[in-house]
Chain A
Amino acid sequence: MRPEVTLAIDTSAAHCAAALLFRGREVEAFEEMATGQAERLMPMVEALLAGQGLGWPDVTLLAVGTGPGNFTGVRIAVAAARGLALGLGVPLVGVTSLQALRFGHEGALACLDARRGAVYVQGEGAAALAEWEELSGFSPAFTVGYRADDLALRFGGTVLPTPSLVLNIARVAAAGQGGAPAPFYLRGADALPPSDPPPVIL
């Protein structure tokens, strides 16, 4: 049996990131970038693989960060990962950023900046989009991610250092805890029905 090689990619925020788990080793590539992930992602992954003496056919499990985050960014990695899975014929799992932040810390409250005064949060229950000011009802053992210090002051718990998102995405997948490789938006598409009603037909 060939050794397990897990490849994770993530472009759900202003970055382009990839990670490899194989033979007990963990390596990652990370670049901050607001735009250009579509062009950068594949060359970055190819360099990461080549740096470890690996190629595409060596990959046995794919993982992709599904957000929540930048809509377009999430789709860039998800679409690429689906193409890779189709081409390589290997399984693909999706891992949300909140799942990745909480990995290894069951009682953690994870938080991501959702802009416009809102945050994406996940504690014991399901992930949610919420106003920062209106967060309530948490009693976490740990806090992690965006404004983790403030969360710990408000709700208690120990502040965890922010982990590498893409490495944790790979770890979640390798641990068999991934989900569907579909974008996880948490926020609607912001489309409004037409304002002018149709005429009455006599």
Chain B
Amino acid sequence: MVLTLLGIESSCDDSAAAVVRSDRAVLSSVVEGQAALHAPFGGVVPEIAARAHAEKLDGCVARALAEAGVGLADLDAVAVTSGPGLIGGVLSGVMLARGIAAATGLPLVGVNHLAGHALTPRLTDGLEFPYLMLLVSGGHCQFLMVSGPGEFRRLGGTIDDAPGEAFDKVAKLLALPQPGGPPLEAEALKGDAKRFALPRPLLDRPGCDMSFSGLKTAVLRARDALIAEHGGLRRQDRADLCASFQAAVAAVLAEKTRRALAESEAPVLAVAGGVAANSVIRAALQGVCEKAGVGFTAPPLRLCTDNAAMIAWAGIEKLQAGLVDPADLTARPRWPLDAMAAPMIGSGKKGAKA
């Protein structure tokens, strides 16, 4: 039987809704970003994000249904991101979904945002289990061995900032607009990647863990030295800093990917997250895969960055595998995919963040 699900996503700064079928047809995928709202603050402000989600999400759902040409009566279930993420936005999505489900009698599936990303290659490419997933975005960075709809083993991840966050912060340091990825990549094209010897954090340590916070600090030091010397930041210096920074991130991701592939013996690498759209990083990862003789796949950008089609799809996979658990509907800021792994970030009393 073909299932049709509505997906709802609101865990960061994108309000999204989508309608997806179990035969891998994405009937609609509506994403309303909030970049302009957060731009003056140099990063996502949780309360501002929550306010926007509360006002926009139901409109996204209505649009997703209309664009898909289906009514609520045509759906088999509603899937919603219930964590991890900014709790205000997650709560808005979960409550909207609870309202729709109560009114229609549709079953509700709580989905882990990370599982949404990790299962996307199965929606876009029909990828078979197992595969290695590198999730690399503004909020996350981890290697996941994906062996089933609910089977995730984390091989490593960042111990501090996510690469997308580092791109944003470095862009800010260099007077580039937010979000920082695309403008930084454009500047880097004009620059010399070998001019500044920036660190490759944690490359000297075994394993697949990464760190990007020190790299950002190194860029700050180099920038301040240039400003002290010239009384400001010259355009070519900025381009060279961008290129050097981007090369450092690419080198770290490539080497750690090489190790993760060797350790997991996965036949294919799939990447997801906005940072995977960076062409230098993508080329570096593809190069590693070629050398290792494993396949490489990256979902198209619109399904690779935050969206609700991946949530609907993860909901479909959970339904088909009989993995639906009412407890998964509780909105939560922290929800590691691999419950067995030692927490990496936020290991305090609240538990692992992701």
How far, in Å, is A62 (CB) from chain B's closest CB? 9
Which of chain A's residues have a CB closer than 8 A to the CB of B18? none
Determine which of B41, B45, B99, B235 lies in contact with A86 in the assembled complex, contact meaning CB atoms within 8 Å: B99
Q: Which of B41, B58, B96, B227 contacts A191 (CB 8 A)?
A: B41
Select from chain A the residue with minimum beta-carbon distance to B71: A89
Contact with A along B64-85 (1 / 0, CB 8 A): 0000000010000000000000
Contact: A72 with B103, CB < 8 Å?
no
**Residue A190, interface by CB 8 Å:** yes
Closest to B230 in A: A202
Please report which residues of chain B, range 88-105, place their CB below 8 angstroms from some CB of chain A when the two chains form the complex.
88, 91-104
A183 to B99, CA, bound (A): 17
Judge whether A76 and B95 touch: CB under 8 Å: yes
B 266-294 to A, binary, CB cutoff 8 A, 1 in contact else 0? 00000000000000000000000000000
Least CB separation from B45: chain A residue: A191
Residues of B within 8 A of A86 (CB): 58, 61-62, 72, 96, 99-100, 103
Compute how far the CA of A116 lies from the CA of B103 in the bound complex, rounded to whole angstroms.
39
Q: Most B CB atoms within 10 A — which of A39, A81, A86?
A: A86
B238 lies within 8 A of A38 (CB): no
Residues of A within 8 A of B42 (CB): 193-194
Contact of B95 among A83, A189, A193 (CB under 8 A): A83
> In the complex, are the beta carbons of A199 and B91 less than 8 A apart?
no
Interface residue A88 (Cβ < 8 Å from any Cβ of B): yes
Q: Which of B94, B96, B173, B223 has the most CB of A within 10 A?
A: B96
A78–B91 alpha-carbon span in the complex (Å): 11
B97 interface neighbour in A83, A88, A199, Cβ under 8 Å: A83
A38 near B47 (CB under 8 angstroms)?
Answer: no
B174: Cβ under 8 A from any A Cβ: yes
Say whether, besides A83-B58, A83-B98, A183-B54, A72 and B223 are in contact (CB < 8 Å): no
The answer to whether B103 touches A193 (Cβ under 8 A) is no
Asked if B55 lies at the interface with its beta carbon under 8 angstroms from chain A, I say: yes
Q: Chain B: how many interface residues by the 8 Å CB criterion?
A: 47
Which residue of the partner chain A has the closest CB to B233?
A: A199
Selected contact of B91 from candidates A42, A45, A76, A85, CB within 8 Å? A76
Check A46 for interface membership: any CB of B closer than 8 A: yes
Are A199 and B50 interface neighbours, CB within 8 A?
Answer: no
Cβ 8 A contact of A193, one of B40, B61, B72, B94: B40
Task: Count residues of A near B (Cβ-Cβ below 8 Å).
Answer: 37
A38: which B residues are within 8 A, CB to CB?
Answer: 91, 94-95, 98, 330-331
On whether the beta carbons of B45 and A87 are closer than 8 Å, the reply is no
* Cβ 8 A contact of B48, one of A78, A87, A191, A194: A191
Tell whether A75 pairs with B175 under 8 Å between CB atoms, given A80-B99, A183-B54, A201-B232: no
CA distance A74 to B101 in the complex (A): 20
A85 to B62, CA, bound (A): 11
**Which of B58, B95, B172, B175 counts the most chain A CB atoms within 10 A?**
B95
Least CB distance, B150 to chain A, in whole angstroms: 23
Q: Contacts of A81 on B, CB cut-off 8 Å? A: 99
Q: Is A33 an interface residue (CB 8 A)?
A: no
Nearest-CB residue, chain A, relative to B103: A87
Asked if residues B232 and A56 are in contact (CB atoms below 8 Å), the reply is no
In the bound complex, how far is the Cα of B69 from the Cα of A199, in angstroms?
Answer: 50
Complex CA gap A75/B238 in Å reads 43
CA A76 – CA B97 in complex, angstroms? 11
Complexed CA–CA distance, A46 and B105 (Å): 12
Q: What per-residue 1/0 map shows which CB atoms of B209-252 lie under 8 Å from chain A?
A: 00000000000000100010011111100100000000000000
Known: A199-B173, A201-B238, A202-B235. A83 touches B54 (CB 8 A): no
Q: Which residues of B contact A78 (CB under 8 A)?
A: 54
**B51:A189 contact, CB within 8 angstroms:** yes
- Residue of A71, A79, A82, A201 with most partner-chain B CB within 10 A: A79
Instruction: Find the A residue at minimum CB distance from B99.
Output: A83
Given contacts A71-B88, A198-B172, 15 further A-B contacts (CB under 8 A): A72-B87, A79-B95, A83-B101, A83-B102, A84-B99, A84-B102, A85-B58, A189-B45, A190-B47, A193-B42, A198-B175, A199-B175, A200-B175, A201-B232, A202-B232
A–B complex contacts, Cβ < 8 Å, 8 sampled: A39-B330, A80-B96, A87-B100, A183-B51, A183-B54, A194-B43, A199-B175, A201-B235
Binding site for A on B (CB under 8 A): 40-43, 45, 47-48, 50-51, 54-55, 57-58, 61-62, 72, 87-88, 91-104, 172-175, 223, 227, 230-235, 238, 330-331
- Complex A-B, nearest 10 residue pairs according to Cβ-Cβ distance, in ascending order: A83-B99, A87-B103, A79-B95, A198-B175, A200-B232, A202-B232, A82-B58, A189-B47, A194-B42, A84-B99
A residues touching B (Cβ–Cβ < 8 Å)?
38-39, 41-42, 45-46, 56, 71-72, 75-88, 182-183, 185, 189-194, 198-202
